[in-house]
Amino acid sequence: MNSIPAATLRRLAIAARAPSLNATQLIQLAATDPGLASLGGRDRRAFAQLGLTTHCADWLATPDDSLVDSDLRWLESSGVILLPAMSPDYPGLLRESPDAPAVLYVRGDLRVLAEPQVAMVGSRNPTAGGRATARDFAAFFARAGLTVTSGLALGIDAACHEGALDAGGPTVAVLGCGLDQIYPRNHEKLAERVAAQGALISEFPPRTEPMPACFPQRNRIIAGLSHGTLVIEAAEKSGSLITARLAGVAGRDVFAIPDSIHNPLARGCHQLIRQGAKLIERPEDVLCELKISLSAQLVAGPSPGLAVPGSGAALLDKEYKILLDALAFEPASVDNLIERTGMNSESIASMLLILELDGHVAPHPGGRYSRMAGQ
């Protein structure tokens, strides 16, 4: 963040606190006012075409300077990064999802947010079996190169983060409060591990307490970040079903694990399956379904209804094409591909996984890859 001029950072801090400002509005504002000089400028005319609430326009024109100063001091001391929707680092899938946050607060590694993610959610009071399934599936996804995204809650969420971390994979935790506090309190150590090995993110400014109303809002970010959402154990009318519904609304896959008809925590999953969620028995089933989705995305490009200028999916799509073009039918190593494309090794490794799942490339001994015939 040191490379960002102080004036720009201040404007991002103003945008981050603007009530109900969403990604689309901030991107539109940045298109006409690239330096966001209008923020804090006391003139509301720049905001006229954005469809903002009065409350939001008031804040953007005349923010509370002492509050913004305090946020800036916290950002500096905590190392938390502000990630606005127009940044190339802002996750593309989230940007395409309905009512995406204008600015994210991020603690950890920004690059993790660009990796393909699968959301895993479920009950705060799972059965021992549900908890074990969560850990096992998360570990499998981590080993397969997928980032596990969840909500740092008790129960299934924690088991998913732990499963991914223990398998050496990154994981993303989306909080329903400011990043200056951790909820629940006894997940502070887990939050440290997530920040060290992945990222903690929130749309809520510092000093936002965890409130019931924050959690459904938080859930839309979990769903929006992910190619699909897997529900493990969920009661009827539970928060996990909201996340699943939001994933469906955003056009993402919804997955659910069945269980005994005598387990009340299977009810929510069974309800989702009846409504069209994919029934999942093994973590491979999720990869197989994501392969289909990713393959469709790769072939068709992002859906026109969802795409926004400079969207991450379009970017992803372009990068995949560059990588495919750099691959020949003679096997090449990741080092060869770094040389040919100028991309970094993490991006290449992650894209190769997707391309392999997708049947576009074939793996060879010694970590080399070749393009498949007909691709």
Which residues make up the interface to a second copy (CB under 8 A)? 129, 133, 257-262, 266-267, 270, 273-274, 278-282
Lookup: tokens for 136 = 């096992």
Tell me how far, at minimum, the Cβ of 51 lies from a second copy, in Å.
Answer: 42
Nearer to a second copy, 275 or 375 (CB): 275
Nearest to 171 by CA among 144, 196, 154: 196
Nearer to a second copy, 183 or 255 (CB): 255
Lookup: tokens for 275 = 């409504």
Plot region of 12 (φ>0 → left; ψ -120 to 50 → alpha; else → beta): alpha
Instruction: Reply yes or no: is the peptide bond before residue 184 cis, omega within 30 of 0.
Output: yes
Question: Which residues is 229 bridged to in the sheet?
Answer: 119, 254
Strand 199-202 and strand 103-108: the pairing is antiparallel
Cα–Cα distance for residue pair 63/205, rounded to 1 Å: 14
Nearer to a second copy, 254 or 316 (CB): 254
Tell me how far, at minimum, the Cβ of 281 lies from a second copy, in Å.
Answer: 5
Nearer to a second copy, 95 or 267 (CB): 267
Tell me how far, at minimum, the Cβ of 128 lies from a second copy, in Å.
Answer: 12
Nearer to a second copy, 42 or 274 (CB): 274
Nearer to a second copy, 39 or 160 (CB): 160
Cα–Cα distance for residue pair 258/281, rounded to 1 Å: 8
Strand 81-84 and strand 103-108: the pairing is antiparallel
Residue 361 contacts residue 355 (beta carbons within 8 Å)? yes
Tell me how far, at minimum, the Cβ of 337 lies from a second copy, in Å.
Answer: 37
**DSSP reduced 3-state for 12:** helix
Nearest to 222 by CA among 181, 171, 288: 171
Tell me how far, at minimum, the Cβ of 267 lies from a second copy, in Å.
Answer: 7
Tell me how far, at minimum, the Cβ of 123 lies from a second copy, in Å.
Answer: 16
